[in-house]
Structure 1
Amino acid sequence: MGLRNVFTEKQAEVIRQFNTNKDWKLMINTGAVRAGKTFVDNFLFFMAVHHAAEIAKEQHKPFVQFILAGASSKTIQSNILDELQTTFNLTFQFDKHGSFQIKFPALPPVKIVMAYTKSIAGLSSIRGMTSYGAYINEASLANELVFDEIQKRCSGKDARIICDTNPDVPTHFLKRIIDRAEETNDKTVVSNHFTIFDNEENLDPVYLQHLLNTTPTGMLYDRDILGQWTSGEGIVYSDFDINKNVITRAKFDELYPKPVQDHVLKYVAGVDFGFEHKGCIVVIAIDKRKDKYYMIEEITHKHWQKERWIFEAQKLVNKYGDIPFYCDYARPEYLAAFQDAGLKAFKAFKSRLYGVEKVGSLIKQVKFQVIKEAIDYFEKELFAYNWDEKTGEPEKKDGNDDVMDTVRYAIVTYIHLQEKRNAINRYEQSYADKAQIMDNLGLI
């Protein structure tokens, strides 16, 4: 069976490179989401472990060690171990240190040692060890010192390091390694660039088209679809169209007459308390039937104490019902004051890049609109809300993101909570289905 029976053309190219190029010590497979990087790297991991076992036999060692690294135990489990179990029908017996062995016929075992790369604490499991290779998943999330230590630990004969990553800013240490290798013609480092179209044959066409339609234009599209190491240029919400994403109060009331609003719309609020910078409350009306979001209120002000914010929030409750307030928790005493006042106040989900992508996707699909008469500072901030070229996230400047953050808190916390509820429901249904099958078999 040829490689193209199992792998895409790009994946087959990487497999051939692994087998025929004897010079490299570090392979970085980088690119778009859903591009097939992790799938092929899991095969490379298995091949590299097999090679380590061959070296162990050659050197008459009872076993050798190999590093398996990822941001956390959860990502290693979901991205690698679960896939290996499915693909190769493997089972893993973990020891008290969280390591396990992979055994091949007639070869010494290879001990797989976990390392967690997000912080320097991840070094504890590999300090002092000699490794015969490593596989680093989601390498752009790794702490640079941990990444460097993994390289130093891989001092066994013919040890090679495989890593996969989605791209980040061009100044990221991994991109610097790639660029330096290209500039100096360093044969010990190889990199392979994937776009989402490299895995098109394995993706459902409806899913792919949906992803293309909903990924915001600019940096997020360049990274997620084209797999480019790029920093942002221009405004964050570049798809925002005043002619499409802004509607009048009259148009909103036409779409949702007063009696209908009470039955169709759900209301949530975002809160950034501010003080020296602007504080803000926005109210978002959500039409769950159409997955549409409307900013219908914006209250923005400087130097208000918590009592005034409570007063404003209670007015909104009188107007829209007992709505949840998703709050910036940088000032916990203000959040506590809201709760003591009987308001349904909760910590906002604050992941910035994830949140910007969610809001940007809604803007691109015209599923987020603002009421023209509700706008105070929203529009002023929108066109000053730029990407930071150094961090690859929205710029943090006084006065350019208070309302932007508050809108994100409201919408994305709601979406995040819905996704968590749906995941729990799916798990409970799956559990119920399995229980029913066992019951039918007379096992319970």
Structure 2
Amino acid sequence: MLEQLPLSPKQVRSIAQATSRINIWSGAIRSGKTIASLIAFLLAVVNAPSTGLIVVVGRSLQTIERNVLDPLQTIELFGPVARQVHHTRGATTAVILGRTVHLIGASDARAEGRLRGLTACLAYVDEATLMPEGFWNQLLGRLSVPGARLLATTNPDGPAHWLRRRFIQRAGELDLRSWHFTLDDNPSLAPEYVASLKAEYVGLWYKRFIDGAWVQAEGAVYDMFDPGRHVIDVLPQIARWTCVGVDYGTVNPLSALLIGHGTDGRLYAASEYRHDSRAARQQLTDAQYSARMRDWLARLDAHPEWVFVDPSAASFSTQLWQDGLTGVTPAVNDVLDGIRSVSVALGSGLLSIHRSCTGLIEELPGYAWDDAAAERGEDKPLKLNDHSCDALRYALHSTAHDWRGLIRPEEAHGAAA
């Protein structure tokens, strides 16, 4: 039956072999691992023991809906099965093939308590490397019904991550099977789409999300930054001032970066306002910062559509609003995803930085991964001289949906590889 579906041999093999207690699909984005795992999950639901709960686990209820339930209900491959997947948006249960399925968000260690007292016969875990290790262990302990199974998907992380070190690498010792997918393992993708994906990722992210490799985050965060390539002396005509990203500080520096879309279809970090209270020996109030930022924008005759402010600086955002600055909103503060967005913009050549942004230009080469965190299996940048880097991350990641389509695969592929 599986051979009749539009699947790759690796997908078919993984579905047929997913009979171990622990089954893990890992590898590149859009490599076909999720589709294979969902088909295996549907077969497992049909054959699940009648005792014990069926659970689907994800980072949040929203990610479960987006990554698991929506595909089951909308992807044509699932055909008539889609009509047997019932879920009300926001509800913590779904009905799949007649079985009640419990949906559990596991964003931090506190989620472990949601498993207390639970007995499960089947679990599906989305984005397994994002789960707290204690939650994963607790979930395995709750799969106590004879024949119980866990199915999980994940993108790769660092080589020291607990999932790889304690489980995937010990497959020979455990009742565990795992399958590794690369982008090229999905033959159904159009070549143009593959080229676009390869253009969107660079460096560390290319190795993980395209090659599907478990590689360590080490050295410079933005190792693709090249002053000779990225720093310019003259700005082109700016079609629109997209946003300002603001990293707030009182003792530490406040940094604000103005981002514009050029008429040439590229992004520009055009100007920087920065106040270092230590260097200036003068701390400023929220009202003083607001006045200086508004004066800075007025001198540039720039009217940004958005002002993305450090989410922890609620009082400063309020001050900007009260002073009449429009479009003020908390920045999206997902650090790793934000770093990836900046890496894409730099690595693809889409982003250039005007030489006047001295704080940013000084910080970018020294912005580094934390080696001690990497040894623990965590990806974390060092919190050192990162204020303009954070402002850039706030600006670019909060508007990523607006500029990713500007990347030109034919120009960026070399940088990505």
TM range (shorter): 0.7 to 0.9
1:246 aligns with 2:223: no
1:190 aligns with 2:177: yes
Structure 2 residue aligned with 1:371: 354
Work out whether residues 26 and 190 of structure 1, in 8 Å CA contact, stay in contact via their aligned partners in 2. yes
The one-letter code sitting in structure 2 at the alignment partner of 1:50 is V
Report the Cα offset of residue 417 of structure 1. Answer: 7.2
The one-letter code sitting in structure 2 at the alignment partner of 1:49 is V
Structure 2 residue aligned with 1:425: none
1:311 aligns with 2:291: yes
Q: Using the alignment, how far apart are the partners of 1:302 and 1:284 within structure 2?
A: 21
Structure 2 residue aligned with 1:279: 254
1:28-56 Cα distance to aligned partner (Å, 9 max, x none): 1111111111101111111212222xx44
Q: Secondary structure at the match of 2:13?
A: helix
1:99 aligns with 2:88: no
Structure 2 residue aligned with 1:215: 201
Q: 1:212 to 1:346 in 2, by over 3 A?
A: same
Report the Cα offset of residue 243 of structure 1. Answer: 2.5
Q: 1:94 to 1:2 in 2, by over 3 A?
A: closer
1:127 aligns with 2:116: yes
Q: Using the alignment, how far apart are the partners of 2:197 and 2:107 within structure 1?
A: 28
Structure 2 residue aligned with 1:298: 272
Report the Cα offset of residue 159 of structure 1. Answer: 1.0
The one of 204, 212, 216 aligned to 1:227: 212
Q: Using the alignment, how far apart are the partners of 1:397 and 1:123 within structure 2?
A: 29
Q: Using the alignment, how far apart are the partners of 1:321 and 1:342 within structure 2?
A: 14
Q: Which of the pair has the greater relative contact order for Cα pairs under 8 Å at 6+ separation?
A: 2
Q: Using the alignment, how far apart are the partners of 1:75 and 1:298 within structure 2?
A: 36
Q: Using the alignment, how far apart are the partners of 2:269 and 2:100 within structure 1?
A: 55
May I ask how many residue pairs the two structures share in their alignment? 385
1:264-307 Cα distance to aligned partner (Å, 9 max, x none): 232532222323322212222222x5442112212323214134
The one-letter code sitting in structure 2 at the alignment partner of 1:15 is I
Structure 1 residue aligned with 2:382: 396
Q: Using the alignment, how far apart are the partners of 1:139 and 1:128 within structure 2?
A: 22
Structure 1 residue aligned with 2:65: 77
Work out whether residues 4 and 12 of structure 1, in 8 Å CA contact, stay in contact via their aligned partners in 2. no
Report the Cα offset of residue 222 of structure 1. Answer: 1.3
Report the Cα offset of residue 368 of structure 1. Answer: 0.8
Q: Secondary structure at the match of 1:325?
A: strand
Identity of aligned residues (%): 25
Report the Cα offset of residue 133 of structure 1. Answer: 1.9
Task: Mark the runs of 5 or more structure 1 residues left unpaired by the alignment.
Answer: 57-62, 104-108, 420-444
Work out whether residues 65 and 113 of structure 1, in 8 Å CA contact, stay in contact via their aligned partners in 2. yes
Report the Cα offset of residue 197 of structure 1. Answer: 1.3
The one-letter code sitting in structure 2 at the alignment partner of 1:313 is M
Structure 1 residue aligned with 2:129: 140
TM-score, normalization by structure 2: 0.83
Report the Cα offset of residue 5 of structure 1. Answer: 4.6
Work out whether residues 99 and 111 of structure 1, in 8 Å CA contact, stay in contact via their aligned partners in 2. yes
Structure 1 residue aligned with 2:83: 90
Report the Cα offset of residue 11 of structure 1. Answer: 0.8
Q: 1:283 to 1:65 in 2, by over 3 A?
A: closer
Report the Cα offset of residue 186 of structure 1. Answer: 1.1
Give matches, 1:315-354, under 5 Å.
Answer: 315-319=295-299, 320-323=301-304, 324-344=306-326, 345-354=328-337
1:410 aligns with 2:395: yes
TM-score, normalization by structure 1: 0.78
Work out whether residues 352 and 393 of structure 1, in 8 Å CA contact, stay in contact via their aligned partners in 2. no
Q: Using the alignment, how far apart are the partners of 2:118 and 2:380 within structure 1?
A: 40
Report the Cα offset of residue 358 of structure 1. Answer: 1.6
Q: Secondary structure at the match of 2:156?
A: coil
Work out whether residues 178 and 191 of structure 1, in 8 Å CA contact, stay in contact via their aligned partners in 2. no
Structure 2 residue aligned with 1:115: 104
Q: 1:43 to 1:343 in 2, by over 3 A?
A: same
Q: 1:157 to 1:395 in 2, by over 3 A?
A: same
Task: Mark the runs of 5 or more structure 2 residues left unpaired by the alignment.
Answer: 278-282, 405-417
The one-letter code sitting in structure 1 at the alignment partner of 2:150 is I
Structure 1 residue aligned with 2:44: 48
Report the Cα offset of residue 172 of structure 1. Answer: 2.4
The one-letter code sitting in structure 2 at the alignment partner of 1:280 is S
Q: Using the alignment, how far apart are the partners of 1:29 and 1:221 within structure 2?
A: 18
Q: Using the alignment, how far apart are the partners of 1:128 and 1:406 within structure 2?
A: 45
Report the Cα offset of residue 370 of structure 1. Answer: 1.2
Q: Using the alignment, how far apart are the partners of 1:321 and 1:111 within structure 2?
A: 55
Q: Using the alignment, how far apart are the partners of 1:163 and 1:157 within structure 2?
A: 19
Q: 1:84 to 1:298 in 2, by over 3 A?
A: closer
Work out whether residues 158 and 379 of structure 2, in 8 Å CA contact, stay in contact via their aligned partners in 1. no
The one-letter code sitting in structure 2 at the alignment partner of 1:75 is T
